[in-house]
Amino acid sequence: MKIIACCKLVPEEQDIVVNADRTLALDKADTKISLYDLNAVEAAVVLAAETSGKVTALSVGAKRLENSKARKDVLSRGPDELVLVGDPSLEGALPATTATVLAAAAKKIEFDLILCGEGSSDLYAQQTGMLLGEMLGLPAINCVSKIIAGDGKVTVERTLENEVEVLDVPLPAVLTVTSDSNVPKIPSMKAILGAGKKPITSWSLGDLGCTPSVLTSLQSVLAPEMKERKKIIIEGDTDDKIAAFVENLRKALN
Amino acid sequence: MTKLANVWVFSDMADRYPELIAGGASLSDSVSAIVVGGPECASKAFAAGATKVYLIAPDASFMVEDYTPTLAKLVGSDPAVVLIGATKRGKAVAARLSVRLNAAAVSEVSAISGDAGALNISHMVYGGLAVGTEKVTSPLVVCTVGNGVFEPLTAGAQGETVNVAAEAPTSPRARCVERRTKQGSNVDLGKAKRVVAVGRGLKAKEDMAQITALANALEAEVGCSRPIAEGENWLERERYVGVTGVQVKADFYLAMGISGQIQHMVGVTGVKNIVAVNKDKNAPIFQQADYGLVGDIYKVLPALTAAFK
């Protein structure tokens, strides 16, 4: 099975600084693979191994795509190749734009199945995979927790709020996988060294003949005003410190 | 703000309609509910304040997503806002509908303001670290709305019921071959008054018994950070607090061995009192705790359980 695993390169949340005016400073934030896309890559690599297939990792974005450590990180997790579509206009792209570019790129790549994460760790709109499926006119299923390869189809388990559906999905198709559907493997040293030798292809929006329309634009990103906490912290775990802490707990319980 | 000409509402879960209809009523005097079901569903929508109901007769061979072409045909191209309950199926329907309508799509909206044709719509970004506000320039916009954003109306409305036949699906589609009730706990941590949560500070699954003992002593539910539910699988996913998990609104939240990364803390912003125990005095959770103790959870756990038994 030929599989495209979509993965977004995002700022490391832990490095994001909240400025005094509640805006966010992202410049110093390191680049990483969006957390939930690791599950998409893992599912793709496992499924391709079971079906003697191939995995193409696909990422669209702006300057974070140039981060060579992140590129290698993607490839060290098992995909055979990486395709990048970079353009400055894709900085902070919203889901509809991202999906439009992914759809244009997917049309140039041979595939049976496209896998996405359940959402991105920056926007977490949980739209991109579903938008992509609809744009390509393909069946698109979210919340997939298990995938079994079949003949011209995949049988998937879809975990909803109160029930699990077992679905036969004709290929080609787009699935988004849940974050508990697998445990992404830590790349081995051999995989990390091998990643540098795998092919990377870069396309421009022009190469794809793609000009995403913009229906909505992000006007502001502001940290919420946090509730002021008391921050009464006791240092140490001797018996008398714990006793003092128990008294504090009693206050918190009332 | 000037009111919109019409707001459409839809959900795959009946209990979401009252809040969605209230959201619609805050934006427009015309709230059209699209409901899959029988006449009793229409009555409920009117009782919740809908001014018109489009009733789709259920087709047993359809998954909820298969009604998307029917929704697209009903909504048409006139400027409007479509509010869809932010369930898992609702999110799939919303995204697919937005493509068919060439409409903007915004997920899990927390506020909608502005005038028709220039709406500002807010939602969380970066796992709750910030709120993003989008300006919508398309005439149609599809939003998913979570629980608690709008208060149900106290008065109902009356209006016309239009019976609608479901459109036949146009593209290849998935077929449901089996449906089963989800295994696992029915715990609703979002409604718990007290929560004792555990994180990476716990060394082994056997030690969960100590957490449970403390929770029982405090008459609290047990929660956890993501690695305990996903990865270690020591607790069910329904118990994990944070960005893709539960939003706790308890009066009391005790975090044992949880460092307090953003993704976790966004799940407890609505908590009245946050208490934390962690051996690392620089753990971010202490910046957002009301009370804390820097120490070994294995020393603190039995002492607390004994004190509150």
**pLDDT digits 0-9 by tens, B129-158:** 789 999 998 999 999 998 888 999 999 999
Q: How far apart are CA B132 and CA A165, in angstroms?
A: 33
Closest approach of chain B CAs to the CA of A83, in angstroms?
A: 25
Please, are residues B43 and B56 in contact by the beta-carbon 8 Å criterion? no
**What does the pLDDT average to over B67-88?**
96
Cβ <8 Å between B300 and A237: yes
Q: What is the pLDDT of residue A172?
A: 98
**Greater pLDDT, B117 or B297:** B297
Does residue B219 carry a pLDDT above 70? yes
Q: What is the pLDDT of residue B184?
A: 61
Is A100 an interface residue toward B (CB < 8 Å)?
A: no
A158: three-class secondary structure by DSSP? strand
Q: Two tokens at B48?
A: 């919740």
* B110 at interface of A, judged by CB pairs closer than 8 A: no
- What is the mean pLDDT of the segment spanning B276-290? 96
Q: How much is the pLDDT for A83? A: 98
Task: Give residue B216's pLDDT band: very low, low, confident or very high (50, 70, 90).
Answer: very high
Residues, chain B, total? 309
Q: What is the ipTM of this complex?
A: 0.90
Mutate to test the interface with A, among B66, B81, B88 (most CBs of A within 10 A): B88
Question: Of B95, B262, B281, which has the smallest distance from its Cβ to A13's Cβ?
Answer: B262
B290 to A229: CB separation less than 8 angstroms, yes or no: yes
All residues of chain A having their beta carbon less than 8 Å from the beta carbon of residue B300 are 237, 242, 245
Using an 8 Å Cβ cutoff, are B260 and B200 in contact? no
For residue B141, what are the β-bridge partners? B81, B104
pLDDT, one tens digit for every residue, chain A (254 residues)? 999 999 999 998 778 888 888 899 998 899 999 999 999 999 999 999 999 999 999 999 999 999 999 999 999 999 999 999 999 999 999 999 999 999 999 999 999 999 999 999 899 999 999 999 999 999 999 999 999 999 999 999 999 988 999 999 999 999 999 998 999 999 999 999 999 999 999 999 999 999 988 889 999 999 877 688 999 999 999 999 999 999 999 999 98
* Chain B residues closer than 8 Å to A174 by CB: none
Q: Which two tokens stand for residue B269?
A: 């912003």
Query: Which residues 124-143 in chain B show a CB within 8 A of chain A?
Result: 124-138, 141
Q: Which of B94, B136, B243 sits opposite A215 (nearest CB)?
A: B136
| Total CB pairs under 8 A between chain A and B | 255
- The string of DSSP letters for A38-103 reads HHHHHHHHHHHHHTT-EEEEEEEESGGGG-HHHHHHHHHTS-SEEEEEE-GGGTT--HHHHHHHHH
- CA B185 – CA B155 distance, rounded (Å): 36
pLDDT(B1) > 70: no
CA distance A181 to B225: 17
Report how far residue B260's alpha carbon sits from residue B250's, in angstroms, rounded to the nearest whole number: 17
Q: Which residue of B has its CA nearest to A119?
A: B244
Three-state DSSP class for residue A167? strand
What does pLDDT average to over chain B?
Answer: 92
Taking 80 as the threshold, does the pLDDT of residue B102 lie above it? yes
Q: Is A126 left (phi over 0), alpha (psi -120 to 50) or beta?
A: left
Q: Cα–Cα distance between B68 and B124 in angstroms, integer?
A: 26
> Chain A, 35-64: which have a CB under 8 Å from a chain B CB?
36
* Alpha-carbon distance values, A231 to A168, A228, B111, B262, B275 (Å): 53, 9, 30, 17, 9
Closest-CA residue of A relative to B100 is A134
Place of tokens 């208060």: B151
Contacts with A159 from chain B: Cβ below 8 Å: 182
10 Å CB burial of residue A8 (0-12, 13-18, 19+) is buried
The rounded distance, in Å, linking the Cα atoms of A57 and A74 is 7
CB contact A197 to B (< 8 Å): no
Chain A positions in Cβ-Cβ contact with residue B106 (cut-off 8 Å): 125, 216
Return the SS3 of B304: helix
Kindly state the average pLDDT of the residues B169-178: 87
Chain A: give the shortest CA distance to residue B61, in Å.
Answer: 13
Q: Are B138 and A162 in contact (CB < 8 Å)? A: no
**Based on the number of CB atoms within 10 Å of its own CB, is A145 exposed (0-12), middle (13-18) or buried (19 or more)?**
buried
Rounded Cα distance, B8 and B97, in Å: 12
Q: Does B281 contact chain A (CB < 8 Å)? A: yes
The predicted pLDDT at position B256 comes to 98
Report the pLDDT averaged over residues B70-90: 96
Whether B32 contacts B52, CB under 8 Å: yes
A167 contact residues in B (CB cutoff 8 A): 63, 174-177
- Crossing angle between the packed helical segments B39-47 and B17-27, to the nearest 10 degrees: 50
On whether the CB atoms of residues B208 and B198 are closer than 8 A, the answer is yes
For the segment B4-14, the average pLDDT, to the nearest whole number, is 95
A85 CB-side CA count, 13 A: 29
Could you give the angle at the alpha carbon of B267 between the alpha carbons of A11 and A249, nearest 5°?
125
Phi, psi for B270 (deg, rounded to 5): -90, 5
How is residue A38 written in tokens? 């690791």
Shortest Cα distance from B280 to chain A (angstroms)? 10
Percentage of residues in chain B having pLDDT higher than 70 = 98
Rounded to whole angstroms, the Cα distance separating B228 from B202 reads: 9
Answer yes or no: is pLDDT of B193 > 70: yes
